Chains A and B, each alone.
Chain A
Amino acid sequence: MKHIPTILALLLFLQTGATTIIAGPGRPVSTLRKAIELARDNDSIRLQAGIYKEGSLTISRSITLIGDNNPVLDGESKYEILLVSGKNIRIIGITFRNSGYSAMNDFASIKLVDCSNIILERNTVWHAYFAIHVSNSIQVTIRGNKITGIPASEQLTGNGIHLWKSSGALIEQNRVEGHRDGIYFEFVTGSVIRGNHSEKNIRYGLHFMFSNDDKYTNNTFRNNGAGVAVMYSKKVWMEQNHFEENWGASAYGILLKDITDSHILKNSFYKNTVGIHMEGSSRIEIDQNQFRNNGWAIKVQASCDDNIFHHNNFTSNSFDVGTNGTMVLNQFENNYWDKYEGYDMNKDGIGDIPYHPVSMYSVIIEQNPTTLMLFRSFMVSLLDKAEKAIPSLTPENLIDNKPMMKKHNL
């Protein structure tokens, strides 16, 4: 009982121990550098509006840095603006612009190294090489940031949100455009990417490499150089994303390369050259997706096996499925295909004859791309009809035995 006053006093001390430093032009603490020097663990810095050109700054204590009325940190195209290395740090509402470029190091506007429990929220990054660069960190939350690269500098642009060897990250509600890859994961596990918007990036909207047990949901990837690439990873969960308008000779909604044990569901693929391109991938379940107005809805290379496609809608695609081999180790079931011309005598909603999603012409194109010139010509449709009646070139096992008569309500 007699300890209570001591505890209370301690609590009071802790309370008053955390101070708030107000920094800004005309204040006693006029620079951010000074404010960071003064701040102790658990302190806050409120940075007032203004333009700060202070070179490279480092935060290593557990502080909260909040921008009032949008202060701007300018890297003058020379410096890496903010280096963060520590735990329990929050950075909120600050604009970073013109960070520098280096050929050897990945210069970033905000760089997190060996961190844990960090929150980056509602910041704006403009004209950076790498915008947010995270390595060797755990429990990093990157939420509601707006990142804009200037693509005029083409190949000299880095990634928007770049994570390397990290775990437990949450990337949420960010907007990234004009970078090399919008969001980049390499050796990142147990992380979530949710509700982001990645657009007009030079290469990929999202790029996954060697990153297992991750989940990305409700994101929009639009008009990126080559779409989204998910490579060399296991157990990736992809749900309710939008893959739109990725046009180009080698652009894909998603490029899946060496992916196993993953689940792709309820996504929408609209106006891509290829909706999903799969190579060396196995045990992926692909269901309840919508494929609309794509060149190819799906391209499955012969190196894929044990994948199952069910309850998807395929509408207005030039080709439904393309493949480069005759061996078929993947399964199609209960999909709706708008090109299906069968009938349903017993009225159970399932077509009575199987559907062949690979047309003869798509087999020919796979072997000889220049024949695309004859697309929609009379001869080609004639050949396709003949092939349908007597299959000879198309893989005969690649069929949907239970094609739906009506579109799934997705």
Chain B
Amino acid sequence: MSLFNARSAWTIYKRELLRAFRTALQSILAPVLTTTLYFVVFGAAIGGQMQGGMGGVNYGAFIVPGLLLLTLLGESTSNASFGIYMPRFTGAIYELLSAPVGVAETLVGFVGAAATKSLILATIILVTASFFVDYSIAHPVYAFGYILLVSASFSLFGFILGIWADNFEKLSIVPMLILMPLTFLGGTFYSIQVLPEPWRSVAMANPVVYLVNGLRWTFYGRSDFPIVLSLGLTLLFLAICVALIAWIFKTGWRLRT
């Protein structure tokens, strides 16, 4: 038997996607509706009153990458964490653990499905945004690649969260109390250049700032930081998550007793 079993990975991937579509109202429609409300309130209503926009871009268009990222981070994390936490909670994980399935198949299955769902959400959100604000994408290929990278990274992060959590509260604490505030304060609605000191320096300690700016660069070709810095930090985060998951599988932490 080879070191990677594509059928096993495909089975996990398919099952996870079906699970997401089974709860489409909650997992797809709800985040799209929430983001749409942001576009209506901040983009169309408030943004329409802001003369000169922000960072040289119309304000409605300025917030598109940030809002997209807000949804991507939350949904990638939640979906991947629920994906692995639920079988742990119900005991159904016995089947995965007793199957000839290693870390590679598990990640491709669970994380791939979570990332795919995030990409579907991103597409729907971008299409929805086009009804409320005028925006353009300067580097569509980079934008796709960056969205994919962020989705995969935070799906990996969610997977770790789902293994770490031992109750439902812990599962929702990280997206609600850490990711969402960091994203709100990470330049989703403003350029950190408009912040006075010392808040600008404080904001630079927020890792989400670099994610938002990275995605904003792919849209408008300009950002508060060089794209290489954003890309490098995102790749570093991805590598740390992969290393952590490899360690989890090697030691069986919270998976095998």
Q: Do A and B truly interact?
A: no
